[in-house]
Structure 1
Amino acid sequence: MPFFATRFTERTATRLAALAALVSAALLPFAAAAAPAAAPAPADAKPVYSDAAALGKLMFFDASLSASGKMSCASCHSPSHAYGPPNGLAAQLGGPDMRSQGTRAVPSLRYVLNRTPMWSHAQAASMSERLSETDNAPVGGFGWDGRFNRLHDQASFPLLNPNEMANKDPAAVLAKLEHAPYAARFKEVFGQNIFTDPNKAFTQAMYAIERFELEDPSFHPYTSKFDY
């Protein structure tokens, strides 16, 4: 084949390939628009939990984990009340006989995944700014005073508080947990010998509650008018 014919053929092929690529790129948005949109998830679709979160949900609603056998996490953090108290009491009643009043109002557990884990105070540089509204308030941590840096540490507090679920110590919680209807499931998730190591068992139990609060969308629905 003559040289000029070979050169012409190569140029033509290159230009045609480039033109085809441009046409494909131009038509891509129209093809995407014509494609059927994915069907939205039904409004009543159930959340898919990790194994730990599924256990945490069972524990969250289990009143048998309290000394009275009548108080669960949900007793004070009611799902139908934005995970806050279900009544108008300034502080909820608990303890072994359900007659001891807590020392503080119950905070909502909504949007715990957005809270700064570590307690901090970003202080203004000058004294005049510190005394004005420009000075930042302390932030971070869980609980009203931010004493807990990790959510699973906060989860243990009501279980051991004498005015709340009133367990004497973590061992008392584990004794109840070991006889719970879901104890076998707890072993499946965290190991058949999990209860032989009390420290690890209690840590994993609190981790399960933490995962439930982080994974269940009802804790962070983002359905207010400001979320759209």
Structure 2
Amino acid sequence: MTDHFAGDVARRYDESSAAMFAAEVVEPAVDVLASLAGDGRALEFGIGTGRIALPLAARGVPVAGIDLSEAMVADLRRKEGGAALDVVVGSFADAQVDGEFSLVYLVFNTIGNLTSQSEQVACFANAARHLARGGHFVIEVGVPDLRSLPVGQTGVVFAMDEDHWGIDEYDVANQGLISHHFERVDGELRRNSIPFRYVWPAELDLMARLAGMELRRRWEDWTRSPFTSESRQHVSVWRKPPG
């Protein structure tokens, strides 16, 4: 698995994703995750620079993490409270953290960073391996936006402003997606392209069943809005059976 979040990407991550760090985005997610963690520990797959982990830990939930990017973890370590978190550098498809957890979670489309079905299946198995009986696995991810893809074309513009253009390039036959970002930084135009594997809700449910977990909830967002055919994303909660 290639680290696409090294170097300049890591240095600028918080700035380029500033909207996702806003309190109105973070707090509803932390509310849901804290309630699911209860009195137990939480493990974040793809902990990154701590956007969710640090405020969750500030609620009193013991948080650990796994992340492939040493640069992102180094940025996390520099933040208040970051050095206290138990973080393993590696792929969340198979890397291990000691102990059991009442909650494993994976947010902001990060499941797509695993670019093969076998890796995504392994991720669910890894979540189940870390969970205590009755624990929950949570994923926040977009619904594949294929309805925006014109017949005969492979690209969709998802962002366009003075300093940033974003284009999603689809490989429908293989459920592949490359997000191309063209940004003006210090007067220079820079390109960053990151591959993903998009995945459907029903496919995720099957991965959960293979890992011995069952779907408990599916919402459109962290405020628990109903998930419908028009929803552009979902927050799904699976449970490892108790007993």
TM-score range, shorter chain: under 0.3
Larger relative contact order, structure 1 or 2 (CA cutoff 8 Å, min sep 6): 1
Structure with a larger share of its residues in strand: 2
Structure with a larger share of its residues in helix: 1
